[in-house]
Amino acid sequence: MKSIKICAASYAYSSKAKIFQDLNLEFHSGKTALLGPNGAGKSTMMSLMASVVTPSAGSIEIIEASGERISARHLGKFRRLVAWLPQDFSPVAGLTVLEHVRYSGWLKGMSRKAVKEAAPQALLAVGLETLSEKKATELSGGQQRRLGLAGALVHQAGVVLLDEPTAGLDPSQRDRFRQILASLNDENITVVSTHQTEDIDGSFDHVVVLVGGRVRFNGSVNEFMAVAPASVTDSRDRVRLAYAALVEGEI
């Protein structure tokens, strides 16, 4: 089993805006939902794990199943192992949809031959194969989110970080995302940041709840749902009530 580990990490936008202080958290193989209200620090945590921002103290590292440890300080090697879809994704002007996905793969160190073979498959996975020659900036908002997802998936990274990937998607597009999520390799690490709870049961293995820069919960989906009152039997209601109890500090 592999993992990505945050060890005693601190991060602040300024002396008055501290996000994390001595944060310790480890994400393991499988699919983890990172839940929390707006402002909880979810996007900052994802940026730390993607090595987009650097902690003022502590460390971020990937631990392979073999035991090899790759620190975020070794940016080139670390970033080749991580795929990241930021919340504010916007396409590069001038590129077609297919070129954009190829560009994403090239940035991760893929060879020209490998990216040429992988890019069409990534577009097929997100349902954009018929728009491959269209300019990326001409896509709708939901299509651009799927383009970003294709770019994150093209190099088949061992760590996949998706920050609010269903934001702006309609119900049918969210269904497609659930299918894509289900197809990802469970031997890898997939972390999906969201403040929506509808798809937790059946889509994820683990749940982390972040509130005010602190981990309020870290456990399996079943353990998370057990937080809800035993009298509630509907799975969606159990997820919703468990989340509310954790966020409101009742647990």
Q: What is the pLDDT of residues 105-145, one digit of tens each?
A: 999 889 999 999 999 999 998 989 999 999 999 999 889 98
How distant is the alpha carbon of residue 117 from its chain centre? 24
Q: What is the pLDDT of residues 166-181, one digit of tens each?
A: 877 788 888 888 888 8
Sign of CA dihedral 32, 193, 96, 76: negative
Q: What is the C-alpha separation between 127 and 140, in angstroms, rounded?
A: 13
Q: What is the C-alpha separation between 169 and 151, in angstroms, rounded?
A: 17
- Listed in order, strand segments (DSSP E) in the chain are 3-14, 17-28, 30-35, 57-63, 69-71, 82-85, 159-163, 189-194, 206-211, 214-220
Q: What is the C-alpha separation between 25 and 8, in angstroms, rounded?
A: 9
Q: What backbone torsions phi and psi does residue 121 show, to the nearest 5 degrees?
A: -70, -35
Average pLDDT, integer, range 187-197 = 90
Q: Which residues contact 241 (CB under 8 A, 6 or more apart)?
A: 227, 228, 229, 232
Residue 250: band (very low, low, confident or very high) from pLDDT cuts 50, 70, 90? low
Average pLDDT, integer, range 203-215 = 94
Q: What is the C-alpha separation between 84 and 67, in angstroms, rounded?
A: 23
Mean pLDDT, the chain, rounded, equals 91
Average pLDDT, integer, range 80-95 = 92
- Would the pTM of this model clear 0.85, i.e. be above it? yes
Average the pLDDT over each of 18-22, 28-32, 99-103, 158-162 and give the range with the smallest value.
18-22
Check: CB of residue 111 under 8 Å from CB of residue 161: no
Q: Which residue ranges make up each domain of the chain?
A: 3-81+158-247, 93-156
* 36 dihedral zone (left: phi>0; alpha: psi -120 to 50; beta): left
Residue 251: band (very low, low, confident or very high) from pLDDT cuts 50, 70, 90? low
The predicted pLDDT at position 199 comes to: 75
174 is written with which tokens? 């969210």
| Residue matched to tokens 């190099």 | 155
Residue 38: band (very low, low, confident or very high) from pLDDT cuts 50, 70, 90? confident
Q: Which residues contact 204 (CB under 8 A, 6 or more apart)?
A: 30, 31, 32, 33, 192, 221
Classified as helix, coil or strand, 190 is strand
pLDDT at 69 over 70: yes
Percentage of the residues of the chain whose pLDDT score is greater than 70: 99
- Give 245: exposed, middle or buried? Use CB within 10 Å, 0-12, 13-18, 19+: middle
> Has domain 3-81+158-247 been given CATH number 3.40.50.300?
yes
